[in-house]
Structure 1
């Protein structure tokens, strides 16, 4: 099943300049009437390099909501790892998690789930294991890694299972690959699966650093 994936261009460089820019863009959104909906990423957007949520940005997002502007978190995180950020802003923020894999309403109910088909996920993970390519697999609220992920700047708490390809019992919400060599392997060996799954290559196919499946 194909999944629509979207990436916010330019978010990472802005964050690397010393903090997020949410308040700069939307600090007066409530007064100009130009916005009906704001979708915000978490890492490198709401959270800067220090992984902290600034009071200024929280205030800006709350002003948007008070002005009747819908605010949605759109993130590659699972709901469980996105909740602390969401709850710091409001108790009822809708969320699009796992890079579009699962959409939740403000009460946490699943509105849509578009998982990676189980057979496809098992095949991809098996091929990656044979080639020595590492991956992160999000399955519900559990994050799995097929190898030690400690070199990943965006690592989240999870379970390391090198044989996940054999033990995965349900369709996962997404598979993430990081590192240029690993990403180029996936592009060479898995692009033909587009249609069964979609490969979101960031920042580009010419300079692949992260792939979301």
Structure 2
């Protein structure tokens, strides 16, 4: 019996209209009523993720910032937190200055950038986040952050990712949540680490967990779970490692998983 389900938000739980469909909402409620812990696992900030989580009626800890922060929805207690190592954050900042790259950081769940530009505006329009501009970015880089993010062309990010992996070392986890977002967390700030933590927190064996996602930043979570599920709209690499491929986010793929694996409905 599956006891814990971790679901990515963008392009997984929500459809292309950024909505949880009534059918998927009903499936979530049925799973919760049956005693299953349903949680969200997202690259989004807590400030953005908790709004969606509350809309679904979920009242559990949720995994945010790719796994760098787990926080209760009810009392907002922090259960798990990992910050980008200060030395790595400083190196990343200097690299971005030298190469004129757009870098964002999160401090106290607020999004900051060095300047206002189209990349920042498009990003915040995508997930409804408020942003703050701080020209003296160096002082922000010295503060604890769960996630830093470069926005650029996908091919260019693929080119610089190995360079930054070498520059920043093993203390940092680097992943893409979308083709043009390169994200940097503490090396234990992954959805996989977070899923293991939550399974332990709820006294649930990992074999009794399901993880559902669509992007490469979900792969650690799918690999850690008893059942790793890729959406029909997932990237090919994620489908290759998944135990099961469900329908797309526009075709109630999450509902199909709950029906099939929690309630054994065909």
- Shorter-chain TM-score tier: 0.7 to 0.9
Q: Secondary structure at the match of 1:104?
A: strand
Q: Mind listing any 5+ residue stretches in structure 1 that lack a counterpart?
A: 1-33
Aligned partners of 2:21, 2:33: CA distance in 1, in Å?
A: 19
Aligned partners of 2:147, 2:10: CA distance in 1, in Å?
A: 17
Q: Does 1:154 align with 2:122?
A: no
Identify which of structures 1 and 2 has the higher relative contact order when contacts are C-alpha pairs closer than 8 Å and 6+ apart: 2
Q: Mind listing any 5+ residue stretches in structure 2 that lack a counterpart?
A: 185-266
Could you report, residue by residue, the CA deviation over 1:77-102 in whole angstroms, capped at 9, with x for unpaired residues? 11111111111122522201000111
Shift of 1:40: 0.9
| 8 Å contact kept, 1:71–1:94 | no
Aligned partners of 2:18, 2:2: CA distance in 1, in Å?
A: 27
Aligned partners of 1:137, 1:80: CA distance in 2, in Å?
A: 14
**Any runs of at least 4 consecutive aligned residues in structure 1 with deviations exceeding 4 A, and if so which?**
none
Q: For 1:103-118, list aligned pairs within 5 A.
A: 103-107=70-74, 108-118=76-86
Shift of 1:132: 0.9
Corresponding residue of 1:197: 172
Q: Secondary structure at the match of 2:126?
A: coil
Aligned partners of 2:10, 2:136: CA distance in 1, in Å?
A: 29
Shift of 1:165: 2.8
Corresponding residue of 1:184: 158
Shift of 1:185: 5.2
Shift of 1:131: 0.8
| 8 Å contact kept, 1:202–1:211 | yes
Q: For 1:77-92, list aligned pairs within 5 A.
A: 77-90=44-57, 92=59
**Greater mean deviation of Cα atoms: 181-190 or 48-57:** 181-190
Corresponding residue of 1:7: none
Could you report, residue by residue, the CA deviation over 1:31-89 in whole angstroms, capped at 9, with x for unpaired residues? xxx42211111111222221223222221111111111111110111111111111112
Q: Which has the higher helix share?
A: 2
* Matched residues, number: 176
Aligned partners of 1:173, 1:78: CA distance in 2, in Å?
A: 9
Q: Does 1:95 align with 2:62?
A: yes
Aligned partners of 1:58, 1:169: CA distance in 2, in Å?
A: 41
Which TM-score applies when normalising by structure 1? 0.73
| 8 Å contact kept, 2:175–2:183 | yes
Candidates 139, 162, 165, aligned match of 2:138:
165
| 8 Å contact kept, 2:70–2:79 | yes
Shift of 1:109: 1.0
Which TM-score applies when normalising by structure 2? 0.59
Aligned partners of 2:112, 2:156: CA distance in 1, in Å?
A: 17
Candidates 58, 64, 67, aligned match of 2:25:
58
